[in-house]
Amino acid sequence: MVNFSITIDSFTKIKSLENTIKTLVELGINNIELSGDPSNFYSQKKLELLNTFSISVLGVTGKWTSSKGKMTPILLTSDHQILSYSKNYIKECVKMCNFFGGSFFNVCLLSNYDLKIDSNHEMIPNKEKKKLLKKSVSILSDLTSFSKDFGVYLLLEPLNRYSTPFCCNVADAIYVTSSINNEYFSILLDTYHMNIEEMDFSDSITKSKNFLKHIHFADNNRKMPGLGHINFNSILKTLKMIQYNNYIGLEPVLDINYKDEIAQGLYFLNKLCNKYKM
């Protein structure tokens, strides 16, 4: 039977962590992905809070977009200061993940290189893209060796082209992951980003099956599954076909009515999971 987790970042603008945890337990969700913010979440007090409510930490979700007053982690860069900060950020998140008993941390390949041919849509030719992605392999290999010592998988998550033109689809992620060739470096797919970049959900998921360790669900409008137009029937059918048996992570953008939205999304997903006996 499929189990669901949810990202704590979906709630950070709505409630305190304690109130969020209470609500999730009421909704029947007992697995979370912590925010990749070691300065705020890496503490014994947080661990005791989670233990009080019997909440399990599945993994840590990185802060791969700009945060007020903080640098954005960028791995595709020639700036040694930025690269050093970014590698240290990943290491701190890995240690935090291990501390809370989690097993993965997602990595995104943002860049400050300006190789865009079409600046409006941020697309670059695959040949140029692979040249730069190849430069990430040694960096990611070293980080994977570090994370392996903590029992934490690094999961490469392709974002859509409006976040980065360099690792924005399944093909890019497979290229990097197969080049690293380490069991502790795998892939995390996100249906919101896939909706923008992939021609066919089923085909892309099938191609990634040997590397797919986790998947995030959000509809095309970033709401809970079933509240937009993504074909989750096809997605779950494909996950069943490739014998995916890991968690499904929920990563919606929530508002004040989130209880109803989460309940609707879970009802929608459970119906599909029952249909495919997952």
- What is the span of the domain harbouring residue 176? 4-275
Instruction: Map tokens 């705020």 to a residue.
Output: 40
What CATH number is associated with residue 143? 3.20.20.150
CA distance 155 to 100: 18
Rounded to the nearest 10 degrees, the angle between the axes of helix 17-27 and helix 44-52 is 30
pLDDT at residue 12 in the model: 80
CA distance 8 to 17: 8
pLDDT at residue 151 in the model: 98
What separation in angstroms does the CA of 234 have from each of 2, 7, 121, 200, 252? 16, 23, 28, 10, 19
pLDDT at residue 127 in the model: 87
Q: How many domains does the chain have?
A: 1
pLDDT at residue 255 in the model: 87
pLDDT digits (tens, 9 = 90+) for 3-52: 999 999 999 888 789 999 999 999 999 999 999 999 988 999 999 999 99
> What are the two backbone dihedrals, phi and then psi, of residue 140, each rounded to the nearest 5 degrees?
-70, -35
The percent helix, strand, coil of the chain (3-state, each to 5) is: 45, 15, 40
List per-residue pLDDT tens for the chain, 278 residues long: 789 999 999 998 887 899 999 999 999 999 999 999 999 889 999 999 999 999 999 999 999 986 666 789 999 999 999 999 999 999 999 999 999 999 999 999 999 876 555 555 556 788 888 998 999 999 999 999 999 999 999 999 999 988 888 999 999 999 999 999 999 999 999 999 999 999 999 999 999 999 999 999 999 999 999 999 999 999 999 999 999 999 999 999 998 889 999 999 999 999 999 999 99
pLDDT digits (tens, 9 = 90+) for 199-230: 999 999 999 999 999 999 999 999 999 999 99
Residue 219's closest CA among 233, 240, 203?
233
Contact present, 77 and 33 (Cβ < 8 Å) = no
pLDDT at residue 138 in the model: 97
CA distance 227 to 235: 15
Residue 60's closest CA among 33, 40, 87?
33
Residue 245's closest CA among 218, 278, 268, 274?
278
Entry pTM: 0.95
CA distance 240 to 18: 35
CA dihedral 47→49→50→51, nearest 10 degrees, is 80
CA distance 37 to 14: 17
CA dihedral 231→234→238→244, nearest 10 degrees, is 50
What separation in angstroms does the CA of 271 have from each of 235, 267, 275? 14, 6, 6
pLDDT at residue 69 in the model: 60
pLDDT at residue 81 in the model: 95
